[in-house]
Chains A and B, each alone.
Chain A
Amino acid sequence: QVQLQESGPGLVRASETLSLTCSVSGYSISTAYYWGWVRQPPGKGLEWIGIIFRTGNTYYNPSLKSRVTISLDTSKNQFSLNLISVTAADTAVYYCTRDDTFGGLIVSKFDYWGQGMLVTVSS
Chain B
Amino acid sequence: QSVLTQPPSVSAAPGQKVTISCSGSSSNIGNNYVSWYQQLPGTAPKLLIYQNNLRPSGIPDRFSGSKSGTSATLGITGLQTGDEADYYCATWDTSLSAGVFGGGTKLTVL
Interface residues of A (CB under 8 A from B): 36, 38, 45-48, 50-51, 59-62, 95, 99-100, 102, 105-111, 113-116
Interface size class of B (residues with CB under 8 A): 20 to 34
B21 an interface residue at 8 Å Cβ cutoff?
no
Main secondary structure of the interface of B (DSSP, over half): strand
Report the 9 A-B pairs with minimum CB-CB distance, sorted nearest first. Answer: A48-B99, A113-B44, A109-B50, A45-B104, A46-B101, A108-B90, A107-B33, A108-B99, A106-B92
Taking a contact as CB atoms under 8 Å apart, the answer to whether B90 and A48 are in contact is: yes
Q: Which residues of B contact A109 (CB under 8 A)?
A: 33, 35, 47, 50-51
A39 CB to nearest B CB, Å: 11
Chain A contacts of B44 at CB under 8 A?
95, 113-116
Task: Please tell me if the beta carbons of B33 and A45 are within 8 angstroms of each other in the complex.
Answer: no
B27 to chain A, nearest CB (A): 13
At the interface, yes or no: B30 with Cβ under 8 Å from chain A? no
Contacts of B104 on A, CB cut-off 8 Å?
Answer: 45-46
Q: Which residues of A contact B45 (CB under 8 A)?
A: 38, 46, 95, 110, 113
Whole-angstrom CA separation of A109 from B34 in the bound complex = 8
Report B-chain residues with C-beta under 8 Å of the C-beta of A110: 35, 37, 45, 47, 90
A48 — which chain B residues lie within 8 A by C-beta? 90, 98-101
B56 lies within 8 A of chain A by Cβ? yes
Q: Is the CB of B92 within 8 A of A105?
A: yes
Apart from A45-B86, A48-B101, A102-B51, what are 18 other A-B pairs with CB-CB below 8 Å? A45-B101, A45-B103, A45-B104, A46-B39, A46-B88, A46-B101, A48-B98, A48-B99, A48-B100, A59-B97, A62-B96, A62-B98, A107-B35, A107-B50, A107-B51, A108-B92, A109-B35, A110-B47
